[in-house]
Amino acid sequence: MDLTIYYILLILIAAVFAGIIGSMAGLGGGVLIVPFLTLYFHVPISLAIGASIISVIATSSGAASAYVKDKISNIRVGTFLVLFTTSGAIAGAFLEHIAPKQIIYIVFGVVLLISVIPLIRKIGEVNQPPTVKNDPIAEKLSLNSHYPNYEMKKEMDYNVTGVKSGSAMMLVAGILSGLLGIGSGVFKVIAMDTFMKLPIKVSTTTSNFMIGMTAAASAGIYFFNGEVNPIIAAPVAIGVLIGAVVGARLLVRTKGSTVRIIFGIIIVVVAVEMLLSGVGISL
Partner 1 sequence: MSPEDRMIEIEREKEEEEDISSRMLSVYLIWSVLISLGVIVIGLVAYLVTSSSGYIRVPLDILLKSGGPTTTVFPHYLNSITNGVIMLKSFAFIQLGILLLILSPIGRIFLQILIYVKERDRPFIAIATVVFVILVISLFLSKVVLSFKI
The CA-atom distances, in angstroms, between 98 and each of 177, 212, 278 are 16, 24, 16
11 within 8 A of 239, measured Cβ to Cβ: yes
171 binds partner 1 (CB under 8 A): no
Which residues contact residue 31 at a Cβ distance below 8 angstroms, ignoring those fewer than 6 apart?
22, 111, 112, 115, 182, 183, 267
**DSSP-assigned beta bridge partners for residue 154:** 149
Q: Which of residues 53-72 bind partner 1 (CB under 8 A)?
A: 54, 57-58, 61-62, 64-66, 68-69, 71
91 binds partner 1 (CB under 8 A): no
227 binds partner 1 (CB under 8 A): yes
Binding mask 114-143 for partner 1 (x = CB under 8 A): --------------------------xx--
User: Three-state secondary structure along 156-193?
Assistant: EEECCCCHHHHHHHHHHHHHHHHHHCCCCHHHHHHHHH
217 binds partner 1 (CB under 8 A): yes
281 binds partner 1 (CB under 8 A): no
Q: Which stretch binds partner 1 (CB under 8 A): 27-35, 117-125, 180-188, 216-224?
A: 216-224
Residue 59 or 115 with smaller CB distance to partner 1: 59
Residue 5 or 122 with smaller CB distance to partner 1: 5
CB of 67 to partner 1, least distance (A): 8
8 binds partner 1 (CB under 8 A): yes
β-pairing verdict for 145-149 and 154-158: antiparallel
43 binds partner 1 (CB under 8 A): yes
Q: How far apart are CA 214 and CA 57, in angstroms?
A: 9
Q: How far apart are CA 205 and CA 203, in angstroms?
A: 6
Q: Which of residues 257-276 bind partner 1 (CB under 8 A)?
A: none
Figure out which of the listed residues 172, 182, 232, 244 binds partner 1, where binding follows CB under 8 A.
Answer: 232
End-to-end CA distance of the chain: 30
80 binds partner 1 (CB under 8 A): yes
The CA-atom distances, in angstroms, between 80 and each of 77, 90, 127, 168, 213 are 5, 17, 22, 12, 12
Other Cβ atoms closer than 10 A to 64: 22
Residues making contact with partner 1 (CB under 8 A)? 1, 3-5, 7-8, 41-44, 46-47, 50, 54, 57-58, 61-62, 64-66, 68-69, 71, 75-76, 79-80, 82-83, 86-87, 89-90, 93-94, 97-98, 140-141, 212-213, 215-221, 223-235, 237-238, 241
